[in-house]
A = this chain, B = another copy of it.
């Protein structure tokens, strides 16, 4: 049914004719086409909750950049919202929660979200699948429980997330209770995305890198592993930004693809992770500021290092909003035209 299933085959370790490519945050401010649609609804959370618009901007980068997958336009913070903790997105500031989680009572009060709570996402997925008509696969996603936990405790973005980490140190039991609730919600949510048509899923652990290796195993990887065990029908990508220390441990969980950022040496990562996972990444988003000759040579160097088996080309983080659209297209074309 899918006309282009390169990413699914690469994820499963099957042979591919060429390296597949998509970009984190490919649907977003880098596209004037996105900004035009985005203008129709002032409030970001309302925008996320409008399936027709979310579907429209999900498809834009497939048409404009020619990437090998769409990723549903949404936000990782829809989960706290569905659990009873609404948030606002403040321009140039980031997310902000009016209430945060502090006590046992606060955790008790939160409910485990079910798929129906997030109908606006699954509705958008259905619209996208219909519109794509098998052109490329659609990626569903969620935040990793630790990253969601971090926002729910901290109440906003932070350089250190020191309040969230304080909870781990002062009340590990309550931390685990909350992490489990988030995990159960996330499993329900991802299953609903898959039922609605998501062909693979990615778990984003944006704040993985601020934990110690031991804490990461106990408070993050354990829950990511639960999610990976619960999702059995589609390939699973785990991207734990900055968690260089967890690469070996991550190779043991039940996922198909591990995302790398640009600080992680490619051959060292392959050695740590082994041959049984597909790797994804890892160009520095800032490379796309360079002129085309540099983009080409650095991208080809990266592709050669990863090799043509078990690899999906991507950036090592989301696209930065001020990136030139043509440079993004050139990066995608460079990958697609490359042959070993």
Q: Are A169 and B212 in contact (CB under 8 A)?
A: no
| B residues near A285, Cβ cutoff 8 Å | 160, 162
Contact status B284-A263, CB under 8 Å? no
Q: Is A286 an interface residue (CB 8 A)?
A: yes
Q: Is A290 in the interface zone, CB < 8 Å from B?
A: yes
Contacts A263-B245, A265-B245; A320 near B289 (Cβ below 8 A): no
Contacts of A165 in B (CB 8 A): 284, 286, 289
- Say yes or no: A169 contacts B287, CB within 8 Å: yes
A307 in contact (CB, < 8 A): no
User: With an 8 A cutoff between CB atoms, is A244 at the interface?
Assistant: yes
A39 interfacial by beta-carbon distance below 8 Å: no
Tally of contact residues, A, Cβ under 8 A:
31
A47 within 8 A of B: no
Q: How many copies does the complex hold?
A: 2
In the complex formed, the residue of B with least CB distance to A318 is B160
Q: A213 contacts which of B170, B213, B265 (Cβ < 8 Å)?
A: B265
Contact between chains at A169 and B294 (CB < 8 Å): yes
Nearest-Cβ distance from residue A265 to partner chain B, whole angstroms: 6
- Set B212, B262, B265, B291: member contacting A263, Cβ < 8 A: B212
Q: Are A290 and B170 in contact (CB under 8 A)?
A: yes
For A169, give the chain B residue with the smallest CB separation: B290
Does A86 lie at the interface of the complex (its beta carbon under 8 Å from any beta carbon of B)? no
Closest to A282 in B: B212
From the candidates B212, B242, B262, name the one contacting A262 in the complex (CB within 8 A): B212
B interface footprint on A154-187 (CB within 8 Å = 1, 0 otherwise):
0000011010011011100000000000000000
Other A-B pairs, 18, CB within 8 Å; known A159-B159, A212-B263: A160-B285, A160-B320, A162-B285, A162-B320, A165-B286, A165-B289, A166-B289, A169-B286, A169-B287, A169-B294, A170-B289, A170-B290, A211-B263, A242-B242, A244-B244, A244-B245, A245-B263, A245-B264
